[in-house]
């Protein structure tokens, strides 16, 4: 058994029509970790996940899941992974129990090994087991998608934006389930999300994908440490000379004469910045702060990578 649950090398995908969605991705995901894939819309996250799931064919590169190369052992590699897709693609004429049974059949799980009741219980749909999918609420459908990803108890569970547009209660329930699968069953979890906070709470490691490439990959702690950048913009009373260099504080003069001071909120306080200015005789006419948003962060990480 290899060291990593997922090994991706030189992965490329060019869709028909020429769109290059993945431009040579190398990525490993350690066994038993919760791994976050972050990135702006259109970055290639779903393409990557759908290739892992065997739903989209790759153009080049290799994918190994639990030691099984997709091209050499397609059956084993497929059995090792379960995917909760981004899109709600449920057959409206199935009941939750029916949908789980059909899915188990597709994965060749023998009747004696099926655990539909246990899964229904876990996703909180026991009392809806015999209701038609079309009568379920959006939240219930999402939970059913999670259930479907679990019928063959895969070693790797992938969730593609499971909480996009989902209310807070359901989000918490989903994450509780996912944590439990990770802790109690040692399942490796890969998830994509738009919510930084969610990634921070859930993930051990994060990769940031941008324009079909891995822009950054690090432990959540290290990566989010780079995301707490704040910028203080001051307008001085009079033009100022250069400020002494201080580690962790970046100073740039903008075209409009304001000075942008960027610092890490976890290391440096606004007070530290103001003190630096005062100590250097800068008199402040006006001051405001800017917070880096996710898009800015992606951009700055892409630039530095
Ligand atoms: P993400 O999940 O990060 O938002 P996607 O993997 O869905 O990104 O998309 C990556 C790029 O590939 C986008 O430019 C998207 O428009 C394009 N794309 C996705 N699916 C298809 C498809 N079936 N055919 C052509 N282009 C596609
Ligand atoms: Mg997507």
CATH of the domain at 54: 3.40.50.300
- Beta bridge partners, 27, equal 8
- The answer as to whether 301 is a domain residue is no
- Indicate the SS3 state at residue 174: helix
In a 13 Å sphere around the CA of 43, the CA atoms on its Cβ side amount to 22
One domain for residues 76 and 122: yes
The two three-digit tokens of residue 140, written as one number:
């219930």
What does the pLDDT read at residue 298? 58
One domain for residues 126 and 269: no
- Name the residue range of residue 158's domain: 4-224
Domain edge (last residue) among 224, 254, 275: 224
One domain for residues 60 and 193: yes
- Whether 85 is in the pocket of ligand 1, judged by its Cβ within 6 Å, is no
> Which residue has the CA at smallest separation from atom 21 of ligand 1?
15
One domain for residues 220 and 237: no
Domain edge (last residue) among 224, 246, 264: 224
Number of structural domains (the chain) is 2
- Whether 46 is in the pocket of ligand 1, judged by its Cβ within 6 Å, is yes
- Residue 212 CA: nearest ligand 1 atom is 10
- The answer as to whether 297 is a domain residue is no
Q: Is the pTM of this model over 0.75?
A: yes
| Site of tokens 């307008």 | 235
Q: Calculate how far, in angstroms, residue 252's C-alpha sits from the geometric centre of ligand 1.
A: 37
What does the pLDDT read at residue 198? 80
One domain for residues 42 and 114: yes
How far apart, in whole angstroms, are the C-alpha atoms of residue 80 and residue 74? 10
Choice between 264 and 302, residue whose per-residue pLDDT is larger = 264
- Whether 19 is in the pocket of ligand 1, judged by its Cβ within 6 Å, is yes
What does the pLDDT read at residue 43? 92
One domain for residues 207 and 284: no
- The answer as to whether 302 is a domain residue is no
CB atoms within 10 A of CB 98: 16
Q: Within the chain, where are the H helices?
A: 45-52, 74-79, 96-106, 116-122, 138-150, 168-185, 196-202, 220-225, 270-279, 294-304
Position 12 pLDDT exceeds 80: yes
Name the residue of 36, 42, 48 whose CB sits within 8 Å of the most ligand 1 atoms, as the mutation to test its pocket. 42
Choice between 270 and 12, residue whose per-residue pLDDT is larger = 12
pLDDT tens, residue by residue, 161-217: 888 777 888 888 889 999 999 999 999 999 998 777 788 889 999 998 989 999 889
- The answer as to whether 163 is a domain residue is yes
One domain for residues 122 and 232: no
- The answer as to whether 252 is a domain residue is yes
One domain for residues 52 and 183: yes
What does the pLDDT read at residue 305? 40
The CATH number linked to 237 is: 3.30.70
One domain for residues 170 and 283: no
pLDDT tens, residue by residue, 233-269: 999 998 777 778 877 788 888 888 888 888 877 788 8
- The answer as to whether 255 is a domain residue is yes
Position 290 pLDDT exceeds 80: no
What does the pLDDT read at residue 244? 80
**Sign of the CA dihedral with 10 first, then 15, 20, and 21 last:** negative
Burial of 233 (0-12, 13-18, 19+ CB in 10 A): middle
Q: Calculate how far, in angstroms, residue 52's C-alpha sits from the geometric centre of ligand 1.
A: 15
Judge whether 188 and 196 are in contact, CB under 8 Å: no
- Whether 15 is in the pocket of ligand 1, judged by its Cβ within 6 Å, is yes
One domain for residues 235 and 104: no
One domain for residues 120 and 251: no
One domain for residues 241 and 159: no
Choice between 274 and 60, residue whose per-residue pLDDT is larger = 60
Domain edge (last residue) among 207, 224, 241: 224
- The answer as to whether 299 is a domain residue is no
- The answer as to whether 24 is a domain residue is yes
């Amino acid at each position: 058994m290899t060291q990593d649950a997922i090994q991706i090398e030189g992965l490329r995908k060019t869709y028909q029509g020429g769109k290059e969605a993945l431009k040579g991705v190398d990525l490993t995901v350690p066994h038993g970790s919760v791994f976050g894939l972050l990135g702006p819309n259109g970055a290639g996250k779903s393409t990557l996940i759908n290739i892992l799931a065997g739903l989209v064919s790759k153009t080049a590169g290799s994918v190994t899941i639990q030691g099984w190369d997709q091209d050499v052992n397609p059956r084993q590699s497929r059995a090792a992974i379960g995917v909760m897709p981004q899109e709600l693609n449920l057959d409206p004429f199935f009941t939750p129990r029916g949908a789980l049974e059909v899915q188990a059949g597709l994965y060749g799980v023998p009747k004696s090994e099926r655990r539909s009741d246990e899964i229904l219980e876990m996703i909180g749909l026991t009392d809806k087991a015999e209701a038609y999918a079309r009568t379920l609420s959006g939240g219930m459908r999402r939970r059913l998608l999670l259930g479907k990803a679990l019928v063959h108890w895969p070693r790797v569970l992938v969730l593609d934006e499971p909480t996009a547009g989902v209310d807070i209660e359901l989000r918490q329930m989903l994450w509780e389930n996912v944590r439990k699968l990770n802790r109690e069953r040692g399942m490796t979890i890969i998830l994509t999300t738009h919510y930084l906070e969610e990634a921070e709470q859930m993930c051990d490691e994060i990769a940031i994908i941008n324009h079909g490439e891995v822009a950054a990959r690090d432990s959540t702690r290290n990566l989010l440490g780079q995301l707490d950048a704040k910028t203080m913009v001051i307008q001085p009373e009079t033009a100022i000379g250069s400020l002494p260099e201080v580690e962790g504080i970046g100073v740039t003069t903008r075209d409009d004469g304001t000075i942008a001071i960027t610092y890490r909120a976890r290391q440096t306080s606004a007070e530290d910045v103001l003190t630096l200015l005062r100590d250097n005789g800068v008199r402040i006419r006006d001051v405001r702060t800017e917070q880096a948003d996710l898009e800015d962060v992606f951009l700055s990480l892409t630039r530095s990578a």
